[in-house]
């Protein structure tokens, strides 16, 4: 009997769920899970997860003290919410969860370091080993330098918003655990820039991940490649064999209901035989290549802004919910 595409994919690639929706994770039981500010913000607005949000807010209010201002309570809750979702997710999956550092710190190495350490400390208080957590950091030069320090401390990192080979090589040279090249966002840029549509192996996002994967395997880097941000299952099929792929619930469902042969496209043995030039990426080279790569330059800036905007929305959502909880408490006291 023919296996589904999802079942075949799992035999050669670690399947990761790209969502903050805990019920979707329970349905597809991925090995790992990733979240980002947009996904956490979306999940926090779902009625199913209102209790998680309320518990975090009430815990922050208690810890902040009775004289704390709402703004202080909201800030504390904001710092804890992603870890709260991550903790719930880790109760379901066997592997790791990726939790993102505030995108507004993407160009601040020291603040990225302190925030990452705080995230790990929060997980530790929840009884979760740092081995089960990947700290997500944007692939800016300051972000990569922060990840290099964290990896030496035994804190594993997932470098995100990655669009160019210069970003990938700098991450691998820094010894990061995982990189997440954004397939679909690369495709979006090229479609808009050229007015063309791309299918299969011609998809520039697919080509980017393939290039990064082959480079890492050719030169024996331990850094793993996790394709992310997919627009269709055609992109996923072209990257079968990649170390990991993080996939949204709707595309996981499509893979699970599609029955056809899935040939392996990426293979470390094949990569070893390729003629690839070894590059040295220092800060000056990184910045020069980044400026010359219009797509990577545009999409990194856009991605950081998008995640930052999502965090502003999340802060407002928490502030509004805190006011609502306060009003509810006053009502309860009035009835007593």
Q: Which of 3, 62, 75, 136 does the annotation list as catalytic? A: 136
Q: pLDDT tens digits, residue range 281-305?
A: 999 999 999 999 999 999 999 999 9
What residue spans of the chain are helical by DSSP H? Answer: 5-12, 22-28, 37-44, 50-64, 70-90, 109-125, 141-152, 165-173, 183-194, 204-218, 233-238, 249-256, 268-272, 283-292, 294-335
pLDDT at 67: 87
The pLDDT assigned to 229 comes to 95
pLDDT of residue 330: 57
The greatest distance separating any two alpha carbons of the chain, rounded to the nearest whole angstrom, comes to 77
201 assigned to some structural domain: yes
Could you tell me the residue range of the domain that residue 198 belongs to?
A: 5-38+96-308
Residue 66 bears catalytic tag: no
Total domain count, the chain:
1
Q: Is residue 21 part of a domain?
A: yes
Find the mean pLDDT for residues 13-37.
91
Query: Residue 30: is its pLDDT beyond 70?
Result: yes
The whole-number pLDDT of residue 78 equals 87
Q: What is the DSSP string of 168-213?
A: HHHHHHTT-SEEEEBHHHHHHHHHHHH-----GGG-HHHHHHHHHH
Q: What is the pLDDT of residue 125?
A: 96
Distance, CA of 52 to CA of 50 (rounded, Å): 5
Say what the pLDDT of residue 66 is: 84
**Is there a domain that residue 319 lies in?**
no
Res 313 pLDDT > 70: yes
Q: Is residue 331 domain-resident?
A: no
Give the mean model confidence (pLDDT) for residues 256-274.
97
Q: Residue 329: its pLDDT value, please?
A: 62
**What CATH number should be reported for the domain holding residue 169?**
3.20.20.70
Kindly state whether residue 78 falls inside one of the protein's structural domains: no
Across 64-72, average pLDDT: 88
**Is position 176 within any domain?**
yes
Residue 264 covered by a domain: yes
* DSSP conformational letter for 277: -
Which has the minimum average pLDDT: 16-25, 131-140, 149-158, 169-178?
A: 16-25
Write down the residue that tokens 């800016």 correspond to: 140
Lowest mean pLDDT among 33-37, 57-61, 265-269: 33-37
Q: Does 179 fall in a domain?
A: yes
pLDDT for residue 331:
57
Q: What is the pLDDT of residue 332?
A: 57
Please provide the average confidence, as pLDDT, over all residues in the chain.
94
Report the C-alpha gap between 81 and 322 in whole angstroms. Answer: 13
The answer for residues whose C-beta is within 8 angstroms of residue 280's C-beta and 6 or more apart is none
Mean pLDDT value across residues 257-279: 97
């Amino acid at each position: 009997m023919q296996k589904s595409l999802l079942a075949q994919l799992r035999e050669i690639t670690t399947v990761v769920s790209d969502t903050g929706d805990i019920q979707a994770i329970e349905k597809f039981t991925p090995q790992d899970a990733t979240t980002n500010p947009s996904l956490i913000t979306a999940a926090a607005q779902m009625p199913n997860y209102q209790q998680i949000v309320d518990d975090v807010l009430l815990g922050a209010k208690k810890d902040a003290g009775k004289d704390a201002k709402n703004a202080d309570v909201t800030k504390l809750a904001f710092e804890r919410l992603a870890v709260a979702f991550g903790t719930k997710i880790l109760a379901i999956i066997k592997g790791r969860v990726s939790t993102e550092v505030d995108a507004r710190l993407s160009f601040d190495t020291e603040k990225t370091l302190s925030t990452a350490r705080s995230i790990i400390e929060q997980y530790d208080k929840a009884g979760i080993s740092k081995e089960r957590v990947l700290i997500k950091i944007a692939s800016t030069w300051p972000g990569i330098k922060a990840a290099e320090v964290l990896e030496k401390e035994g804190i594993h990192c997932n470098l995100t918003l990655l669009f160019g080979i210069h970003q990938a090589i700098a991450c691998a040279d820094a010894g990061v655990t995982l990189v997440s090249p954004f397939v679909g966002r690369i495709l979006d840029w090229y479609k808009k820039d050229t007015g063309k549509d791309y299918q299969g192996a011609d998809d520039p996002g697919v080509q980017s991940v393939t290039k990064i994967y082959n480079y890492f395997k050719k030169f024996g880097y331990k850094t793993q490649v996790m394709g992310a941000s997919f627009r269709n299952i055609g992109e996923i099929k072209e990257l079968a064999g990649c170390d990991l792929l993080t996939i949204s619930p709707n595309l996981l469902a499509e893979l699970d209901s599609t029955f056809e042969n899935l040939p392996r496209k990426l293979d470390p043995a094949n990569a070893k035989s390729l003629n690839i030039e070894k590059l040295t990426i220092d800060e000056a080279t990184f910045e020069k290549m980044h400026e010359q790569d219009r797509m990577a330059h545009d999409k990194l800036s856009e991605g950081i802004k998008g995640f930052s905007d999502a965090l502003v929305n999340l802060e407002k959502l928490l502030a509004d919910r805190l006011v609502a909880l306060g009003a509810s408490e006053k009502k309860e006291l009035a009835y007593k």
